Structure formats: C-alpha cells, structure tokens
Amino acid sequence: MRASSRLSKQGRLSQEGLALEYVMVAGTAEVREGELLPVEAKGIKLLLTKVDGSYYATQRKCPHLGFNLCRGKVEDRAVVCPLHKARFDLATGAVEQDARLLFIDMKVKRNLQTYPVQVNGYDVMVGV
Ligand code: FES
C-alpha cells in the first residue's frame, strides 16, 4: 500500500458539488487485473482494482457490516464480500446481491461508495 503522494490540478465536482482532487494512489504496474488493492487518498481507505482494462475505486469497507472488501474477490465487474457474499457493481456501487448467512438473507441498506479514476501516464489517480 502507498500513501497518497501527489494531487492533480484537474477540477471536477463530486456528487455533493464539491471540487474533486485527483490523488495519485498507485502506479499502473501495481494494479493487476482482477486483484483488489488497498490504497488511501486524503485519509480515505479505498479499494482499487482493474477489470477488462478499466480501473475502479470504491470504499474499502463493506456497506453491510464493514468487512474489508480487499479480502473479497472480483466477479465480472463486481466485488463480492467474503463475509456474507454481498455483491456490488464496481462502476456504480449498486447492490447486485444482498448479504446471506447460511439460509438467512440480510438486506444491504447502502450502495458502495465509488470514486472516479483517471490514469495519467503511469499514475493511477482517484478523485476524492
Ligand atoms: S460484511 Fe460484507 S456482506 Fe456482510
């Protein structure tokens, strides 16, 4: 894991209307296809991955009960939590499958927070 080291000057707005800052979180060579890499941007713990050549960044904690999603796995364009198997779309954060414990279904009440990703040369930048 690498701490954030550089900020981008590119200005975009977050969903809340705040200016996004793009923070370099990893080098392109560090992000392997289908692997879940823990990174951090401005103190926010994130998950970074690459699927079919596209990069995705999301919150690292599962919205269900807070388990570390970097210990899960990528299926298609989704991340699956290892604890109760909730499944989230990496691009939108939408819940694709609720959590399940044995035969008990548990509703996941919040989507996964996603963050925009840009590649600048060999730097992977996340907007936070
Ligand atoms: S903590 Fe992730 S599905 Fe329950």
Q: What is the pLDDT along the chain (128 residues), one digit of tens a residue?
A: 443 344 544 556 666 677 889 999 999 999 999 999 999 999 999 999 999 999 999 999 999 999 999 999 999 999 999 999 999 999 999 999 999 999 999 999 999 999 999 999 999 999 99
Scanning the structure block, which residue is given the tokens 């939590």? 81
pLDDT (0 to 100) of residue 18: 72
Asked whether residue 25 is assigned to any structural domain, the reply reads yes
Measured distance CA(30)–CA(61) in Å, rounded? 21
Domain contains 7: no
Answer whether 87 contacts ligand 1 (Cβ < 6 A).
no
pLDDT score recorded for residue 102: 92
Q: Would you say residue 46 lies in a domain?
A: yes
d(CA 52, CA 41): 24
Residue 124 resides in a domain: no
Residue 45 counted as domain residue: yes
Domain count within the chain: 1
> Domain range holding 102?
12-116
Note the pLDDT of residue 19.
Answer: 84
User: What pLDDT shows up at residue 3?
Assistant: 39
Residue 1 located in a structural domain: no
Of 58, 60, 65, which is best to mutate to test ligand 1, by the most ligand atoms within 8 angstroms of its C-beta?
A: 65
Q: How far apart are CA 41 and CA 116, in angstroms?
A: 12
